[in-house]
Structure 1
Amino acid sequence: MLTQHQPIAVNPSAAAKMVGVSRSTLYRWMSMDGFPVVRIGGCVRIPVDDLLAWIRGQGGGDMA
């Protein structure tokens, strides 16, 4: 049985879309201490679970 693939990490544009903010807001967050970003060579990825946990920790309420 096939299941829908959920990425474990996304690029900044996809992360911004996922959480409903602009790309410029996401890039501003990326410069903040503690924001979950992984840089591998020239690629920047944001782990989805860590992003959601970071948002919850900012006092933004509960996200499902």
Structure 2
Amino acid sequence: GGAILAVSQFTLLGDCRKGRRPSFVAAARPEEADGLYRSFVTEVAGQGLEVQEGRFQQHMDV
């Protein structure tokens, strides 16, 4: 057993190859991204880990 805190991180899809400002053109739409996040949480929980999760699309202090 074990436990994790799952927090979605939209900046992982930021493309910083051009200039200083990241481009999020390739990022998934919020509906699709939320589904991917939910699938991840479900998969981890299915491995027998306790999962606490952040709220998708919310500002959080972790």
> Same fold, TM exceeding 0.5?
no
TM tier, shorter chain? under 0.3
Q: Higher relative contact order at CA 8 Å, sep ≥6: structure 1 or structure 2?
A: 2
Q: TM-score, normalised by structure 1?
A: 0.26
More helix by share: 1
